[in-house]
Every structure is written in C-alpha cells, then in structure tokens.
C-alpha cells in the first residue's frame, strides 16, 4: 500500500508537469486499489486484535498500522484531487519548471517514501527526518502562495491559473502532513510515545 501511495504521488507530480491523460486514468484506478487495500489491512488488524490478544508492544504496532493506512488512503485521495484540478484547468494551467511547486512535489514524494521505509525498517531516525521535513514543505507552500500573488499582480488575467496552482500546492502540503502523521505513528509503534496529539 505504501509503494502504491509513492507511485500515485509521483504520477500526480508528473501529471502536473505534463497533463498526461493516460496517467490521469491510471491515478483513479490506483485509488480504487488503495481503498481496497485499506479495507483489507483494517480487516486483518481487527482479526488480530480479536483472535490473538496481542501483548502491549504488538498492540501498539497493530494500532499504529490502522492509523497509518488511513493516512495512506488520504494521500491517495489527495493525489486524485491534484489530478482532478489539472484535468479541469488544463487549458489555463501553465506550471513553470523549477518553481517552488515543483520542489514541493519532490519533497512530498521523498517524505512518503521515507515514512514507509521508517515503518518497514522500524527506524526512528528516518521517521524523525520525515517529521522535520514537514516544516520544509510548509515553507515551500508559503513561497508558492507568494509566487502566485506576484503573478496575479503582473498579469490579473492569470487569476484562474493561480487559484489552481495554490490548490495543487495545498494538496501537496496535506500529503506532507499525512506522511508526517505516518512517521509519528511509527514513533509510537516503536517507543509507545505519540507526539501528534491525543490518541
């Protein structure tokens, strides 16, 4: 499921850059697959909870896994949301290369990949890297907003395009938040401590 999330975000970033219609269809197919995997994993976790009576450490891992698959499903949803914006606004959308939006996309792909690795390897250091990287994505989001405001001042007719760009950036920012959540659940699974708020 984690690798599928990585694939979806990578595809969404490529769609933003290329408007690839075939890839757009692939994204929606992948979303259905992610939704099914979420249901399957939740079913397995519930079965383990009911039948195996896990000890505290195993219970943490199972509980964290259930939370993580929910975040992964939301990542899939947001990749679809990005695709939907590109499909709807393709005629007005002109994403410039090497902008902060491009950097955001790459950063969130990295965050999701590392968050999945941190769980597979049960590696706290990788998890902490993901959590720290979320601040970078937030900063990039603020820069995207500033870029689009400047663009509107230069050319008011680009207002519709700028709204689409900010919405795409917002979805990438949310993907970063979900990757950070996954890393926080990895930390909980390993240490029993959760820093993301109430359990």
Q: Do residues 18 and 111 touch, judged by C-beta distance below 8 A? A: no
Dump pLDDT digits (tens) for 49-70.
888 777 777 888 888 889 999 9
Q: Do residues 78 and 104 touch, judged by C-beta distance below 8 A? A: no
How far apart CA 75 and CA 179 sit, in angstroms, is 8
CB < 8 Å & 24+ apart, contacts of 127-136: 127/183, 127/184, 127/186, 127/187, 127/190, 128/183, 128/187, 130/179, 130/180, 130/182, 130/183, 131/180, 131/183, 131/184, 131/187, 133/107, 133/176, 133/180, 134/176, 134/177, 134/179, 134/180, 136/107
| 20 — pLDDT class (breaks 50, 70, 90) | confident
Percent above pLDDT 70 for the chain = 93
pLDDT surpasses 80 at 192:
yes
Average pLDDT over residues 31-35: 89
Q: Which domains does the chain have, with CATH numbers?
A: 2-191 (1.20.58.220)
pLDDT surpasses 60 at 92:
no
């Amino acid at each position: 499921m984690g690798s599928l999330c990585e694939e979806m975000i990578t595809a969404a970033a490529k769609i933003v850059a290329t408007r690839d219609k075939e890839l757009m269809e692939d994204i929606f197919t992948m979303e259905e697959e992610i939704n099914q995997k979420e249901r399957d994993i939740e079913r397995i976790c519930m079965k383990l909870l009911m039948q195996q009576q896990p000890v505290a450490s195993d219970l943490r891992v199972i509980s964290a896994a259930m939370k993580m698959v929910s975040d992964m499903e939301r990542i899939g949803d947001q990749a679809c949301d990005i695709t939907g914006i590109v499909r709807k606004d393709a005629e007005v959308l002109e994403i410039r290369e090497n902008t902060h939006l491009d950097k955001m996309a790459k950063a969130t792909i990295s965050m999701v990949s590392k968050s999945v690795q941190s769980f597979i390897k049960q590696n706290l250091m990788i998890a902490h890297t993901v959590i720290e990287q979320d601040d970078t994505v937030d900063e990039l989001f603020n820069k995207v907003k500033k870029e689009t405001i400047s663009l509107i001042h230069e050319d008011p007719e680009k207002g519709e395009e700028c709204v689409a760009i900010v919405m795409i950036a917002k979805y990438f920012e949310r993907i970063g938040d979900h990757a950070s959540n996954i890393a926080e659940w990895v930390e909980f699974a390993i240490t029993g401590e959760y820093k993301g708020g109430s359990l």
